[in-house]
Chains A and B, each alone.
Chain A
């Protein structure tokens, strides 16, 4: 019940395409859903995060869509660029929890071809 299932494992798109990465969870108590971006040789960096009281959040070319009833959330990257090639992790957290309560998905390796 504590798992966050992320798909696909890898994704290849052409420049300008809209890659979509999906995550699903079981624990309805989760109340914070961040996405992290990790480039090779670097640690993950927070990209965008959403709370379950909104269905969508946009920051630049990155959008999180959230479906509370389906217990799913997804990341869309508009007008993708080769510089977006990285591994993306979704995560979910229990309410009022500490950092240790952040559960990560297994990651999606995105490659954007020029």
Chain B
């Protein structure tokens, strides 16, 4: 079974631009979660999608948004980029999205904002 894939792996953007990251979950998984990982804050939950609906949202500004398609693939978008948005963005998929359901993480997209 193929793992979670994320594209692109690396991105460099400038302040004020917007960016879209993509995530393909493991086949059969309907839940996709997004996390921001930084050295200072660690892993912080952004949002979770299940069957094309956002079920849960973390404490991030509205500049961070996402969506999920009927094939469970997900995208996240960050508008009006700020320097502090530089981070590793991780996508994780699971079958049901329940907290005790094993999450499988992708390798992440490293976003650098200049």
User: In the complex, what residues of B have CB within 8 A of residue A97's CB?
Assistant: 98-99
> With an 8 A cutoff between CB atoms, is B31 at the interface?
yes
Is there contact, CB below 8 Å, between B101 and A99?
yes
> With an 8 A cutoff between CB atoms, is A111 at the interface?
no
Is there contact, CB below 8 Å, between A100 and B100?
no
Is there contact, CB below 8 Å, between A45 and B105?
yes
Q: How large is the interface on B (under 10, 10 to 19, 20 to 34, 35 or more residues)?
A: 20 to 34
> With an 8 A cutoff between CB atoms, is A61 at the interface?
no
Q: Which of A46, A89, A100 contacts B42 (CB 8 A)?
A: A89
> Which residues on A are within 8 Å of B, measured CB to CB?
32, 41-46, 49, 89, 93-94, 96-102, 104-107
Is there contact, CB below 8 Å, between A100 and B43?
no
Is there contact, CB below 8 Å, between B42 and A99?
no
Is there contact, CB below 8 Å, between B48 and A98?
yes
Closest to A49 in B: B100
Closest to B9 in A: A41
> In angstroms, how far is the closest chain B Cβ from the Cβ of A101?
5
Q: Which of A45, A89, A100 contacts B57 (CB 8 A)?
A: A100
Instruction: Name 20 extra pairs, CB < 8 A, besides A46-B102, A97-B98.
Output: A32-B100, A43-B105, A43-B107, A44-B105, A45-B104, A49-B100, A93-B99, A94-B99, A96-B99, A97-B99, A98-B55, A98-B56, A98-B97, A99-B33, A99-B92, A99-B94, A99-B98, A99-B99, A106-B41, A107-B42
A101-B105 in contact given A32-B100, A43-B4, A107-B42 (Cβ < 8 Å): no
